[in-house]
Structure 1
């Protein structure tokens, strides 16, 4: 990870995963599951975790928006896309609400923690798309 990316991680209030992200912990994770199972698992995760409140669910678009109320306030959008049968991508976008225009890497840590929780329930295939 470059110096600029490291600085940007700490002095920004937003983090999101992507296919070819420079930070390997923020690369899209692919799981051996279906879209519906992935959506249901995320819904259950947020319902049963303290400090999270589901704002809306769009099963058609594969998106769940969540408000994080415990600790620092944050808005999370989780996206579940089935690339092919039993090969499903899960991405996150996290924006921290604060007085300052940066969160010292908190939004990145939230994404890393969410992936750790998901890895306990779903079978991780890879963090890179394979053709």
Structure 2
């Protein structure tokens, strides 16, 4: 049964990070920083990426929408939420309409992990996923 599930996942064209992901690398990341600090860092991260174009920024909703051109065209929504005064969560939702005979999931997953790695260099990581 899990082999069939893995095949379906491999061909998934959408990934959303959350506290409830089975893949721990795709769990929500929490940073020791204010909402404004993290939101600014996320916005700058995508402004400086030549493969990305910010479509909309809604600080009131804590969301940034981004079009990504390479390696495959996809659309990303970043959500930044203040959990406590100095703890802010970051989640990603990435999707693509492109088809790949080997499946898009590995490519999309790798991209999300790279964004978290970049954020980990900018802010102190408090935890990954929901606290126990």
Q: Is the 8 A contact 1:63 1:77 kept in 2?
A: yes
Task: Give unmatched runs, 5+ long, in structure 1.
Answer: none
Instruction: Tell me which residue corresponds to 1:130.
Output: 131
The 1-side partners of 2:78 and 2:72 are apart by 18
Worse overlay, 85-94 or 3-12: 3-12
The 1-side partners of 2:22 and 2:94 are apart by 17
The 1-side partners of 2:5 and 2:88 are apart by 27
Task: Give unmatched runs, 5+ long, in structure 2.
Answer: none
Instruction: Tell me which residue corresponds to 1:103.
Output: 104
SS at match of 2:21: coil
Q: CA deviation at 1:57?
A: 0.3
After superposition, the C-alpha distances for 1:51-76 in whole angstroms (9 at most, x for unaligned) are: 11000000000000000012200100
Instruction: Tell me which residue corresponds to 2:40.
Output: 40
Q: Is the 8 A contact 1:50 1:70 kept in 2?
A: no
Normalised by the length of structure 2, the TM-score is 0.89
SS at match of 2:130: coil
Moved segments of 4+, more than 6 Å: none
Per the alignment, do residues 123 and 66 of structure 1 end up closer, same or farther by CA in structure 2, a change over 3 Å counting? same
Provide the aligned C-alpha RMSD in A. 1.8
Normalised by the length of structure 1, the TM-score is 0.90
The 1-side partners of 2:59 and 2:4 are apart by 37
Instruction: Tell me which residue corresponds to 1:30.
Output: 30
Per the alignment, do residues 31 and 104 of structure 1 end up closer, same or farther by CA in structure 2, a change over 3 Å counting? closer
The 1-side partners of 2:69 and 2:59 are apart by 23
Q: Is the 8 A contact 2:15 2:105 kept in 1?
A: no
Instruction: Tell me which residue corresponds to 2:83.
Output: 83
Q: CA deviation at 1:11?
A: 1.2
Per the alignment, do residues 21 and 51 of structure 1 end up closer, same or farther by CA in structure 2, a change over 3 Å counting? same
